[in-house]
Amino acid sequence: MTFFNKIKWILGILMVFVLIVTTNLIDRNNFIRVKDSVVSIYEDRLVAKNLILDISNSIHKKEMAVALTDSAFFENSNNGENKNIQNLISKFETTKLTKEESETFNDLKENLNQLNKTESDFVKSSYISKDDMFNQISKIKNNLEDLSKIQLLEGSKQMSISKKAIDSVELFTQIEIYLLIFLAIVIQIIVMYNPKKES
């Protein structure tokens, strides 16, 4: 094999190698984006949505107890509900929060702390002053509704990121096929090219 033929083979193999490595790195980056997006949708959105629903259920029980002047609830079940809410809040803190979500969440925590004080006053008033309780519960319900809307919005953003990454993978896959066909033709030309020696 002549030196010129060796150069042709090396160039041909290098072109294929560079193409494969480049497309592999692009595909890898897109798959990482899809994976991160899917993980975020589950861990930071679906889990958070479920926690919001559980907190809402506990708040609803409190609201019903106030509406029915259920003193037994405040004597027997309220402390358990407060611990449950605190546990859910701790779990929610472990999710990835956006700036807007973090502000709403901090507002929720403040309103929950205020609710505990309002409950204490409500019990001391022999379950008479309901207005303060209803006002505080209303603030908390608004916070939970806002957090719920954020989950949908952020989930939608993550889905959009995923879709773009998948579209990129499909586009680069098509480009790879065309480039491989082109390279196969170029390599064939390089390998078969045989310059005529001057007589």
10 Å CB burial of residue 113 (0-12, 13-18, 19+) is exposed
Tracing tokens 């949505």 back to the chain, one arrives at: 49
Which range among 32-41, 65-74, 173-182 shows the weakest confidence by mean pLDDT?
32-41
Express each pLDDT in 25-43 by its tens digit. 777 777 777 777 776 676 6
HSE (side-chain half, CA atoms, 13 Å) at 165: 19
* Joined tokens for residue 48: 């958070």
Determine the pLDDT at residue 82.
95
Spell out the long-range contacts of 66-71 with Cβ–Cβ below 8 A and sequence spacing 24 or more: 66/122, 66/127, 66/130, 66/133, 66/134, 66/137, 67/130, 69/127, 69/130, 71/127
* Joined tokens for residue 23: 């497309």
Percent of the chain past pLDDT 90, that is, above it, reads: 45
Predicted confidence (pLDDT) at residue 66 exceeds the cutoff of 60 = yes
Average pLDDT over residues 48-60: 94
CA distance 138 to 86: 18
Of 111, 45, 119, 47, the residue nearest 81 (C-alpha): 119
Q: How far apart are the first and last CA of the chain?
A: 21
Confidence of residue 108 (pLDDT cuts 50, 70, 90): very high
Average pLDDT over residues 114-138: 92
Determine the pLDDT at residue 44.
73
Between 10 and 50, where is the model more confident? 50
Predicted confidence (pLDDT) at residue 119 exceeds the cutoff of 90 = yes
Of 163, 159, 162, 169, the residue nearest 26 (C-alpha): 169
Between 88 and 183, where is the model more confident? 88
DSSP character at residue 12: H
pTM over 0.75: no
Between 56 and 195, where is the model more confident? 56
